Amino acid sequence: MGIRKLIVAASLALPLLAAAAPQSAGMFKRVEGEVKVQRGEQQLPASVGMPLYAADTVLTGRDGAAGITFDDNTLMSLGPSAKFVIDRFQFNSTTHDGAFESTLRKGRLAVVSGKIAKHQQDAMKVRTPSSVLGVRGTEFIVEAE
C-alpha cells in the first residue's frame, strides 16, 4: 500500500515540477570568440546549443559574435562588444501568440523576425538607449553605442 501512495504522490508532483521550470526562449546556434550569458548573479560561458531564458543578458567581447535562434524562429546575430537583454519571451507554438521584448544596450544586432512578429503586430519590440522599435515581420539591423 505504501508504494502506491508514493507513485500517486510522484505522479501528482511531476506536472508541478514541469510548470515551475522556466520556458526556454531560444538557443545559441553560433558562438565565436568571447561570449557570456549573465543569468542572475552568474556569468556563464556561452556554447553552441546552450539555452537562453527571459531575463538573460548576452555579452560579447571585443572578438565575440553570437547567432541565436529563438523558439518562434526569430534569428539574431550579435556583433562584437554587445550587450543584449531578453526582457520578456512568451510563445505558444500552437497558436503562435506571444510577446518578445528585448533591449540592445550596446553593440550591433541583426534580426530576421519569426512567428511572433508575423502573427501579432507590435508583439515584438527591441529597445535601445535612444529608441524603441516595434517589429512587424521584417529584417533589420540596429546599433547602439
Q: What is the CATH number of the domain that holds 60?
A: 2.60.120
Q: Is residue 114 part of a domain?
A: yes
Residue 124 lies in a domain: yes
Question: pLDDT confidence of 18, banded at 50, 70, 90?
Answer: very low
N-terminal to C-terminal alpha carbon distance within the chain = 66
CA distances for 32 relative to 69, 96, 100, 107, angstroms: 15, 31, 25, 15
Matching residue, cell 508532483 = 13
Provide CB contacts within 8 A for 45, sequence distance 6+.
35, 36, 37
Indicate if the alpha-carbon torsion angle 42, 48, 53, 58 is positive or negative. Answer: positive
* Inside any domain, residue 110: yes
Q: What is the DSSP letter of 72?
A: T
Q: What is the pLDDT of residue 37?
A: 98
pLDDT at 145: 84
Containing domain of residue 108, as a range?
22-144
Q: Does 97 fall in a domain?
A: yes
**Does residue 49 register a pLDDT over 70?**
yes
Q: pLDDT band for position 120 (50/70/90)?
A: confident
Q: What total of structural domains would you count in the chain? A: 1
Decide if 6 is inside a domain: no
Average pLDDT over residues 114-119: 91
Is 11 within the bounds of a domain? Answer: no
Q: Does residue 57 belong to any structural domain of this protein?
A: yes
Weakest-pLDDT range from 20-29, 53-62, 73-82, 103-112: 20-29
Question: Does residue 5 lie in a domain region?
Answer: no
